[in-house]
Every structure is written in C-alpha cells, then in structure tokens.
A and B are shown apart, each in its own frame.
Chain A
Amino acid sequence: MIEDRKPRIATVSLAGCFGCHMALLDIDERLMALMKLVEFDRSPLTDIKTFTRRCDIGIIEGGCCNEENVEVLREFRRHCDVLVAIGQCAIMGGLPAMRNAIMHSDAALRECLEEAYITGPYIRNTGHAIPNDPALPLLLDKVYPCSDVVEIDHQIPGCAPSGDIIFAALTGLLSGKFRGFDPHLIRFD
C-alpha cells in the first residue's frame, strides 16, 4: 500500500440473518486491536449506506435471494479490492437456500410464498395475498451463493463463524499473509 492510510473495510448483509455481523463482536477485546488497524466505510456498523471511497476489503454476509442482493453484491465487487464471503449463506446459500430444492416442488418459490402468506396454519394475513408492492425487490427463482454471481476471493465458513476464525482471517488478510485456515478452526455450523 503506497498511500499512508488505514485499510478500509466495507460490510453488508444480503440474504442473511445478521448473525455473521453479530459474530464480528465475538472477536471480543481483539476488536480494539482490529479497530486500530482499519477503518470501516459502507457498513451497517457505521450506517453509511453508499460507498464513499474504494475499499480494501469487502465482507459479504448472506447469499442472493432477490435482485437488490445482486445489485449490492456487484457494487461491492466494483468498489472492493478483496471480497470475502462470510458464513454459510454467502458461501452456499445457507438456510434461505432451503427453498431451492428441499420443498420437493416443481414451483418451489410459489409454494414457499403460498405457505408463508396464504395457506400456513399460523399466519395472520387478512389480505390473503402474497406481497406484490412495486417497491419490494423482485425475488429470484432460487437463492444463489455469492460465488455464483461475482468472483469471490476468500470465504470464512461457519454459521455463524467463530470470533477466532474471523480474527485469523482478517488479520491474515490485512498483513498479506493469509494462507488458509487451521483445520481445527473450520466449522460449517
């Protein structure tokens, strides 16, 4: 890095539960050390909604379940040098991807929506209609992992990843010495 500045990190949660963002806090007091090394740009942590500058690392939580997810993910790819998919949803679709195949249905998305808004036994939806407001992002036919949409450089596995593996990955990337994970740290759950 020629410029004398702190590396910039941007983060976003797409089709995720924000659990991976919560897991960032599991770094515990090492968060202090990390905050001395970096500054956060666009992120729910800073409440900055758009990129103000180019970022060194973009951290993506969640896969793509709607067109807005795809747009945001592509924006991250454009504005970040290194893109890191964090958590199983970003890596392989995760829980939202249950709607892809496990429904045993020819029209899995329709069946999913009908159960959620019309036929499910515990719903209180007086309109008995599937939300269809033009302001809502259009749902994709399937939930896609991030690597299906853009080039992903690194993945941090877990649901959610442990503080240890997140810290190991981020410090490794920041020092330019990231060479994969200690197998004992890897978890898919």
Chain B
Amino acid sequence: MSEPAFHITIDGVQIAARPGQTIMEAADEAGIYIPRLCDHEGLRHQGSCRVCTVKAGGRSVSACTQPAAPGLVVENETPHMVKLRRDLVEMLFHEGNHLCPICEASGNCELQAMAYRLGLTAPSRFPFLQPTRPLDASHPDIALDTNRCITCGRCIRASQDVDHKGVFGYVGRGIHRRVAVNGPDLAHTDAAITDHAISAEVCPVGCIIRKRVGFRIPIGEREFDAALIGEEIEEHRDD
C-alpha cells in the first residue's frame, strides 16, 4: 500500500486517506464503520439510500460518494446523525411490507440488522403505507417478492456492471420509483441463478429469493445473530 497522502478526522479520530478514496473507503480501512445500505463491495457507488449520511465540513453528504479531502472534519456517530439514519431506516420499513417473522431473509437482512444497530424500537410516528406489491415466482430458480424491496439498486448495478445483462432497472419517479425486470416477468429475462445480481449478498433484504434454500440456516447461526452489522469492520480499528 502506498503512503497515505493526507489525513481526515472522523468523530475526532485522525485517519489516513489516499487521493481518490471516498470518506467511507477511508473509514472502512481505518476500522470505522459508517452505516450503509445501497453501497456494496464490488459495485459502483450510488449514494441513494442516504443511510451513510455524514456531516463533512458542516454539510450533509453521503459518505459512499463524497471524496475524502485533506483536513476534512467528519461527524459520523453523533446523536444527530444516528437519529437521521434511524428515521431513514424507519421510513424504509414503513414504505414496504417488512414482516420479519415470516421473511426467509430474517437474520441475514441488512435492513433489519441496521434497525438493530440503530436501535429502532420506539413507537413509530410514521404510518405504515402497506402498499400492494407484486410477487414474481415465474422463474424456476428465483422469486422476487417486491414487498421487501428498498430500491437500493444493488441488483441493478450488479446485473449491469458485473453480469453485463441488465436484468433489473428503475422505473417510475419519486415514491413511485421501483425496481422492475427487463421483460414481462423474470422468467422472460436473461436472469440465471449463477448471476452475481442473484447471489445472496447482493440483495440486502429478502426481495430476490433463491428458491429451495430458504430457512436452511437455523436461528442462531445466521449472519447477524452473533454480531451487529458493521462490527466486522470495527474489529480492525487501531485505537
């Protein structure tokens, strides 16, 4: 690794950063976790979920897209930022139909794990929108339960950039924006179970379902049963 070109400060801790790195990339290397949902290793940054919002130089920016700059002062885990992120995650829960007790992604779900980490337990101030959303089980190996989709777009980027297929894409605007498949249904697209976009780690929730493997992992051994999301990054923190 080349010598660090400059330093930035996150919550009072000085960390090294290189030119071209985003705030989040520099923080990850230093073992400081910045919560994120739409950002995923190996995919291009999108900055749309805003869960990684930090205060950098006094302005609210998404840490996954904002380049680190020499001397930048970043607020990450302040009460204000934690509350903002908790509100964002709460709205994601209310916008779809997220029934954790019946969801096969429960325990491996990043949205749920983020709610745990941010302490989303207070009585809600937002209404549950309870939209009527379709289920697409046409494909022999894959099902889509869009009730759980948070429109992070990770499947879109994985399908376009990694699989070079473009199975998924955004349609609609604003609150009506949703992820759609490039065809009448999933069976009439190029989607294959071997696609990166279909792999278990790309969909952060339980929207993209690999058939015949649900509930295989017993409770207690699932990804977020033992540790909070982000603790794997915080493990290699220096101080």
Q: Measuring CB to CB, which residues of chain A are less than 8 angstroms from any residue of chain B? A: 85, 88, 91-95, 97-98, 100-102, 104, 142, 145, 147-148, 151-157, 159, 180-181, 183-184, 186-189
Per the bound structure, the CA–CA distance linking A181 and B228 in Å amounts to 14
Name A151's closest neighbour in chain B (CB-CB). B123
A159/B134 in contact, CB under 8 A = no
B100/A159 in contact, CB under 8 A = yes
11 contacts between A and B (CB under 8 A): A88-B101, A100-B130, A101-B133, A102-B97, A104-B134, A147-B123, A155-B122, A183-B116, A186-B119, A188-B112, A189-B112
Which A residues are CB-close (under 8 A) to B97?
101-102
Q: Give the number of residues in B that approach A within 8 Å (Cβ atoms).
A: 31
A155/B101 in contact, CB under 8 A = no
Per the bound structure, the CA–CA distance linking A186 and B128 in Å amounts to 21
Given contacts A93-B128, A155-B121, A186-B116, A88 and B100 within 8 Å (CB-CB)? yes
Q: Measuring CB to CB, which residues of chain B are less than 8 angstroms from any residue of chain A? A: 93, 97, 99-103, 106-107, 112, 115-124, 127-128, 130-135, 147, 219, 228
Closest Cβ of chain B to A4, distance in Å, is 32
Which B residues are CB-close (under 8 A) to A85?
123
Which B residues are CB-close (under 8 A) to A152?
123
A159/B101 in contact, CB under 8 A = yes
Tell me the interface secondary structure of chain B in the complex.
Answer: loop
Which B residues are CB-close (under 8 A) to A156?
121
A188/B106 in contact, CB under 8 A = yes
Per the bound structure, the CA–CA distance linking A95 and B36 in Å amounts to 28
Name B112's closest neighbour in chain A (CB-CB). A188
B124/A186 in contact, CB under 8 A = no
Which A residues are CB-close (under 8 A) to B101?
88, 94-95, 159, 188-189
Which A residues are CB-close (under 8 A) to B134?
104
Name B103's closest neighbour in chain A (CB-CB). A189
Name A182's closest neighbour in chain B (CB-CB). B119
Which A residues are CB-close (under 8 A) to B107?
189
Most chain A CB within 10 A, of B102, B106, B123, B124, is at B123
Given contacts A95-B102, A183-B228, A188-B101, A101 and B131 within 8 Å (CB-CB)? yes
List 9 A-B pairs, minimum CB-CB distance, nearest first: A188-B100, A159-B101, A101-B130, A189-B106, A152-B123, A147-B123, A186-B116, A189-B100, A100-B130
**CB within 8 A of A145: which of B99, B106, B128?**
B128
Most chain B CB within 10 A, of A91, A97, A153, A187, is at A187
Given contacts A94-B101, A189-B100, A181 and B121 within 8 Å (CB-CB)? yes
B147/A181 in contact, CB under 8 A = no
Which B residues are CB-close (under 8 A) to A91?
123
Per the bound structure, the CA–CA distance linking A148 and B132 in Å amounts to 20
Closest Cβ of chain A to B85, distance in Å, is 13
Name B224's closest neighbour in chain A (CB-CB). A187
Per the bound structure, the CA–CA distance linking A183 and B135 in Å amounts to 32
Per the bound structure, the CA–CA distance linking A36 and B100 in Å amounts to 35
B119/A181 in contact, CB under 8 A = yes
